[in-house]
Structure 1
């Protein structure tokens, strides 16, 4: 499926804005107070606020990335993170995180704008598009180690399916950096100084492929729209997809959802961490340890899709299917206690990968059999069937394989997105 172009994105954004206004949200409406935002987020109630219709608006995540420790250090520099929205909406809020920090971090300048060239985003911003982001009415917020902060709403119609530039400057010593390692997107880093407000990208002379500090964007959307969380490892994170193309399977799924009527609309957040595991901490804390922060605590989560466990098998943490099944059951119970639907996804083939063995394949087969037949997940997505080689079902189809026998290429990610029956995402509890 081709990417939607700027003209269609603008049309979708205008349509959603009009729908929001009909639902009772107008440009003249006063923004929610900073104190009200966390209360709404904490009370998402999963399906309770979901596709049942009605007027008004919900706070929905239009983009998200799981927090982790990012290598390196910044010295009085500004970072311009390029992130890509799923759903459009009004009153955007920016989440900044110091979840893995060792020192309090003072974010003294945060701005959000639109790159000057939508088709080839870079550090230059469209004139007049850069909006100041405040926290409790102040341009500065200090976030202690282990915490995060959600900004005040910015009075702005944020388009759907559009790249935004979120620029952040932090004052003083920052200690360990929190962000997201495998962005598969270019981030621009400035020379020393606060240039977050600059529309020009001239001061941004360095590039990285990490996101720094920014872990979510929240917008007001019609009440029929909810948040879809995709929890996983490098395959969900988009490992080896084309940089800056937004060809991770969550992005491609968001493209499909954007063409659906409102009962099938979601804000999509990608909570994959490359190298992550279910049973133990590795790259990022385990899926069990981060489930609350990365899924259940996010605004208006209706459904979570879980695709994770191949690293546990490959690295020898799970030597039997029962070990992963027990962990899955815990995640299912926690999701259901929060009134959130949880969809299980089968683990994709890995014959020929660096950590493959026949014994490990037996574990994967046992896990997939349980996912498909147990009935304990609210629904199942069969990604294994979507990408395996019909001639050798233990391996990925060569046309979908980047060459390491583990990670899909862009075509493979498209096949995964196409394999999702959209009806299974809408499972009110």
Structure 2
């Protein structure tokens, strides 16, 4: 009997090896299926001045989630004619406009070195292979050979980037990048490929989210502090996109399109988004245009409904105190209190973060705590930004199963 075991074992081994080889393609495909793109940086698009021909921009952004196969999105959302990008590169910053040696690599678009984006459209680059770290100073260099008409970008970057004439995108030296700018041009999103369990949160807001009164070039906006918390935390939400616009409103266009108008482009279209963090309303209130609490609540409800329809959770944040700001008065304060009551008690958000409670003074709850006040009584300073981020319950950002069924409204 023992003499027969050798041949049987060899036959069994051959069968097992054959089965393993046949399973390999499916296994590899399954591994690929378990990865997806997640936004690691974003900035809301807005109308800028006119674009300039033969102009280069070296744009500095801070990533949140790490991953592979980096892609960028270029926007001509507010252009009135096609816009060509002659060359686009991505690298890692050393200091100023100078890049880490060997890090600057060309980006392609459907295999081509240049791309023309139609008016009103956006375009994603091809994936750039390699591993990209979290919390990285990424530098995207681009050249517009024949730009004209309205440019698309983000005015208040709170980050120094660089510009200059000619095409110097391939250079790692900063020698030709002699101009500085406090805005981002044409770039509105960056993604990386990571495990399918990893998701992102998008902060939809106004100048407080955009970071006004935080320290320029130090990444101290409240979403930046949130990204640092998420990086250290045991959570699957790692990506953070800051889609704040200074002066933005929920309901009306003005400083950028309204939150309702830009929700699809700036938030829902971004890859890997799990949760929308809604922190807007103070500009609608303080404008004294006749907007009521009921109007703002209706806007919130539309955002919630649209986000839920897209499979996203929505966290609502209460509107912070602003007594001392020139447009504050008791009537505006009454609307703010009513709006905050809805956010706290309606149950229509999947979670609530009470920024009002964090920021307000215990001695005058209509006013910001001086220790956290950036000086104008509406925008927090760096400490206030960090306090806001620290108030976010990270576990409530993790909506892997999708938004709960909240039932019909009364």
TM-score by length of 2: 0.89
User: Which of 348, 353, 362 lines up with 2:325 in the alignment?
Assistant: 353
Gaps of 5+ in 1: 1-23, 31-52
Residue 123 of structure 2 is aligned to residue 149 of structure 1: yes
* Counterpart check, 1:369 vs 2:326: no
Q: CA deviation at 1:301?
A: 1.2
Unaligned runs of 5+ in 2: 1-23, 403-410
Deviates more, 1:156-165 or 1:207-216: 156-165
Match for residue 73 of structure 2 among 81, 87, 95: 95
| Aligned residues of 1:318 and 1:324 also touching (Cα < 8 A) | no
| Match of residue 143 from structure 2 | 169
**Aligned match of 2:102:** 128
CA distance in 1, matches of 2:378, 2:221: 15
Residue equivalent to 2:199: 226
For 2:99, what is the secondary structure of its paired residue?
coil
Decide whether the 8 Å contact of 1:280 with 1:317 is kept in 2. no
- 1-structure distance, mates of 2:142, 2:32: 37
C-alpha distance in 2 between matches for 1:377 and 1:86: 25
Taking the aligned partners of 1:426 and 1:173, their CA distance within structure 2 comes to: 41
1:318 positional shift: 5.2
The answer as to 2:234 corresponding to 1:256 is: no
Are 2:40 and 1:57 equivalent residues in the alignment?
Answer: no
2:392 equivalent to 1:420: yes
Task: Output the CA distance in 2 between the equivalents of 1:78 and 1:296.
Answer: 30
Secondary structure of the 1:396 match is coil
Deviation of 1:319 (Å) = 3.4
Q: Is the 8 A contact 1:351 1:357 kept in 2?
A: yes
1:197 to 140, 164, 170: 170
State the match for 2:112 in structure 1: 138
Q: 1:110 to 1:299 in 2, by over 3 A?
A: same
Note the C-alpha offset of 1:141.
0.4
Pair member with larger Rg: 2
Q: Which of 274, 277, 298 in structure 2 is aligned with 1:305?
A: 277
Aligned pairs, number: 374
More displaced, 244-253 or 64-73? Answer: 64-73
State the match for 1:273 in structure 2.
245
Partner secondary structure for residue 361 of structure 1: helix
Shift of 1:54: 11
Moved more, 200-209 or 70-79: 70-79
Match of 2:406 in 1: none
Which residue number corresponds to residue 15 of structure 2? none
| Residues 266 and 317 of structure 1, relative CA distance in 2, 3 Å threshold | farther
Structure 1 residue aligned with 2:291: 319
Which of 383, 391, 403 lines up with 1:411 in the alignment? 383
**1:227: how far off?**
1.7
Residue 187 of structure 2 corresponds to which residue in structure 1?
214
Q: Where does 1:67-86 land on structure 2 (aligned, <5 Å)?
A: 67-71=45-49, 73-86=51-64
SS at match of 2:169: coil
Structure 1 residue 88, shift from structure 2 partner:
0.6
C-alpha separation between the residues in 2 aligned to 1:332 and 1:410? 29
Looking at structure 1, the residues matched to 370 and 180 of structure 2 have their Cα atoms a distance apart, in angstroms, of: 32
After TM superposition, the score normalised by the length of structure 1 is 0.85
Q: Which residue of 2 aligns with 1:14?
A: none
Which structure is higher in RCO with an 8 Å CA cutoff and minimum separation 6? Answer: 1
Whole-Å separation in 2 of the counterparts to 1:55 and 1:104: 35
The equivalent residue for 1:402 is 374
For the residue of structure 2 that corresponds to 1:188, the secondary structure is: strand
**Structure 1 CA distance, aligned partners of 2:112 and 2:154?**
26
1:216, distance to aligned residue in structure 2 (A): 0.5
8 Å Cα contact 1:319-1:360 kept in structure 2: no
For the Cα contact (< 8 Å) 2:50–2:149, is it kept in 1?
no
